[in-house]
Amino acid sequence: MRRQRRAIALLAVVTLFSLVVFSLQAAQAAPAETEAIQQDNPAEATANITIDASAAGTAVNPYLLGTNVPSWLGTWRTENSTFINRTVAAGVTMVRVPGGSWSNYYDWSNCEQNGVCPWDWGVLTPTDFINFSQATGTELMYTVNQNGTAKEAAALVAFFNGSVNDNTVIGVDVQGHDWGTVAQWAQLRSNHGNSDPHPITYWEIGNEIYGGISGTDCSDYGWEEVWTCDGREYVNGIGSGGNRHEGYLEFRDEMKRIDPSIQVGAVGVAPQDSWNNWGNEVIEEAGDEMDFYVIHQYAYFTPPASYQEALAQPESSWSWIRDDYDDALEQYANGRNIPVAFTEHNLFSVQDQDNGQWMTRAVNMLFMADSIGQMAAHHFDIANQWDLANGQAGNGTDYGLLNADSYARSPQYYVFPLWSRFGSTMLPVTSSYNASNTLSVYAGRVDGSTVSLLAINKTGNAINATVQVNGVSGISGGLVDVVKANSLDSQSVTFNGVSNPNDSLSNAPSTSLNNPGNPLSYSFAPYSVTLLRLDTDGQAPTQSALSVGDTSVTEGNSGNSSATFTVSLSAASADPVTVDYATGDDSAKSGSDFTAVNGTLTFNPGQTSKTVDVSITGDEIDEGSSEKFNFTLSNGSVEVTDGQAVGTIQDDDTAALSIAPGPAVMEGDAGPIPAIFNVSLSTLAAFAVTVDYASGPSAGNAATAGSDYTAVNGTLTFDPGQTAKDITVMVMGDTQFEGVETFNVMLSNANPVAITTAVSVGRILNDDAASDFLFLPAIGRN
């Protein structure tokens, strides 16, 4: 095992060198790394902070709290309970897969179908990504291999998003490979344990294509194994026939043909004219259709002169990225507003340059907190920190939020739970202190009665502040969360006073705000990130309570559908909330009508809704009425006000009776001949069905009961599971020529179903010849 971990770490070092994104700072000479410098007290004795709570504010996209899960992590990590629980507690919302440069040669179909992955030591498969996403409640973002084909990418969409009943043809690609139908790939997913689709909304085509090792415009120091470094070729493709390399637009078209709801992103850069004008070319060629634009933003290639320089960087870098991008949209995309996804970001682009292990220290905690705030403030849409776990480099540094071996949390980890509690709206805020080198602040709205303030103290001194919230009558209480370090080079921090909290952070709860008021006096600890959630409605913070609602689903005739129960938390909690759930039988029975489930739901801070899907078994049986089963909540960590729900399975099968067209019987000359009438039930019924029957005369040349056939009447009973019964009428033979005679058999008084065809006509065929004699009148003789 040790040897295997060493191989993983070595490969991670080599691979992550290929993650280089030379930011604007990369062109600068490499400054010498310096020791942390303590910041003197600012000139003002007290920071004056003012929040405008009356403003509408701007939305904060929850997808700014994304990260990356590279496929080299292996299932021994992604299935580990500590790894899973710490991911959940972080509040991460989206994970990008399958992993940076690996994306450009990750053979997903061979890996999923045959277990033949790029490497044979536990690389994660697409199914493994689904399982981790489900275990952590995170969404997936997928980076498509542009060295493959557009139809191969379409098959990948079918694997994640498709239905086993969707027979849409994907077809033959430019290499002559037939990718079959959507149903085939959905069935593969189902065969591997995920019967329901696991939809991915966000897809990007390729990783850092501009950094290729061969092709148009590629540099001598490229790192990506791709076929072009030209933005126009990337978008439009090159070559023809079997030598065709398909471009972004072809990939997008084929993928959206399978699922029109997906969003497909194109690889970009910042600034837009870097890498041989890559960004401007991509925007000009794809700007009319592109769903979102991808940038990888690493602050430094080599360390800056000081920690303070690194801490000042977010306050300037994100604004020029915004301005540069908006100018390009105006010039090359007619001003179209195209969302931006920073699918990789961190302090250094190349870990081998981080010999001081800055990314593992408190300086990166403060840097990351400010970076997320600046992305929100400048209205960016998606961000995926690189990465959730990575593997330690030879120089001791590590990109990961979690250590890949011990799962220990790095200082930057704790930024995510704080931002996840910040709220979904950003409010205007001002501060009298310099945001670059002293105190940066962000204000938000958690709900209608709660305003938040996230403050980043970049100095080695406590900062006393006066916080004024305009637009509210007062501040009557609140909650406080603090992550802090003893120094900028600390590799350990405390979260709400606890140095190593449990996996869920539940033993490091938020603390109550002391001496609330408006204005509020508060002291921000040195080298800290502090989140204040201020109750502004004159009431104590709302106590969360759990409830679950009823649900209803139509069963279907085959396969499985889902009954979805929604479990709600009345108010977002500052701490994780857990509750157990389980289904129970009523008129619907587990095993035959539905699949029983049980488990535990965890509401992360800020979350107020969770769903549980119960698989419903389709059939073609008329149950007579809708069936019901129970869903129960128990053992909630907060009050459960409504813990009972009913799942209703709407029966969509209706049994009906009918009698088939009657037989034609040759009467014979003597003994009785049976005429058999078939009565059927249109579908199976779970109950007994009865119907009366009787024979009788028909219109036309009616047969006579008693001489041509024996009259019958009675009642048929269909027991549960039976769908066919017969009625026998005996036909009497004779030697008299009569022609074809008819009689009826009629159904009536069906219970409890309807009759769709009630009358059937039986025909008695004559087998007697007409007389051979000719009778003439008598002729007299003369």
Query: CA 513, CA 325: separation in Å to the nearest integer?
Result: 41
pLDDT tens column, 51-100: 999 988 888 999 999 999 999 999 999 999 999 999 999 999 999 999 98
Q: Which residues contact 309 (CB under 8 A, 6 or more apart)?
A: 31
Query: CA 685, CA 648: separation in Å to the nearest integer?
Result: 19
Q: How far is CA 329 from CA 275, 336, 339, 394, 526, in A?
A: 18, 6, 11, 41, 41
Q: Which residues contact 356 (CB under 8 A, 6 or more apart)?
A: 33, 303, 397
DSSP character at residue 702? B
CB 658 within 8 A of CB 597: no
The string of DSSP letters for 223-286 reads -B--S---HHHHHH-B--GGG-B--HHHHHHHHHHH-TT-EEEEE--SSTTHHHHHHHHHHHHH
Q: What's the pLDDT score for residue 10?
A: 32
Q: What's the pLDDT score for residue 44?
A: 55
DSSP character at residue 543? P
Instruction: Please tell me if the domain spanning 2-30+61-421 has the same topology as the one spanning 545-650.
Output: no
Query: CA 259, CA 262: separation in Å to the nearest integer?
Result: 6
Q: Identify the CATH number of the domain defined by range 545-650.
A: 2.60.40.2030
Pairing of strands 689-697, 627-634: unpaired
Residue type, 765: L
Q: How far is CA 624 from CA 298, 552, 652, 683, 722, in A?
A: 64, 17, 10, 12, 15
Q: What's the pLDDT score for residue 536?
A: 92
| Residue whose tokens read 């039988």 | 585
pLDDT tens column, 414-445: 999 999 999 999 999 999 999 999 999 999 99
Query: CA 298, CA 342: separation in Å to the nearest integer?
Result: 10
The string of DSSP letters for 158-173 reads HHHH--TT---B--B-
Q: Identify the CATH number of the domain defined by range 35-60+426-541.
A: 2.60.40.1180
User: Which residues is 630 bridged to in the sheet?
Assistant: 584, 646
State the fold for domain 656-765: Immunoglobulin-like (2.60.40)
CB 605 within 8 A of CB 506: no
Q: What's the pLDDT score for residue 618?
A: 76
Q: What's the pLDDT score for residue 34?
A: 35
Q: What's the pLDDT score for residue 574?
A: 61
Q: How far is CA 304 from CA 56, 313, 353, 572, 585, in A?
A: 38, 10, 11, 40, 65
CB 542 within 8 A of CB 569: no
Query: CA 38, CA 527: separation in Å to the nearest integer?
Result: 10
Structure tokens at 336: 């179209």
pLDDT mean for each 10 residues of the chain (782 residues): 31 36 34 37 74 91 97 96 98 96 92 82 92 98 97 98 97 97 98 98 98 94 95 98 96 97 97 97 95 98 97 97 97 92 98 97 99 97 97 97 98 99 96 97 95 98 97 94 98 98 98 95 98 76 78 74 87 81 92 91 84 84 81 93 90 84 86 92 87 92 89 95 93 81 95 93 80 43 38
Q: What's the pLDDT score for residue 43?
A: 44
Q: Which CATH class is domain 2-30+61-421?
A: alpha beta
Pairing of strands 450-457, 439-447: antiparallel
Query: CA 487, CA 758: separation in Å to the nearest integer?
Result: 90
User: Which residues is 342 bridged to in the sheet?
Assistant: 383
How many other β-carbons are positioned within 10 Å of the β-carbon of residue 512? 12
pTM of the model: 0.67
Structure tokens at 295: 């940038």
Encode burial over 400-415: b for 16+ CB neighbours within 10 A, e otherwise: bbbbbeebbbbbbbbb
Q: What's the pLDDT score for residue 40?
A: 42
Structural domain boundaries in the chain: 2-30+61-421, 35-60+426-541, 545-650, 656-765
Q: Is 570 helix (H, G, I), strand (E, B) or coil?
A: coil
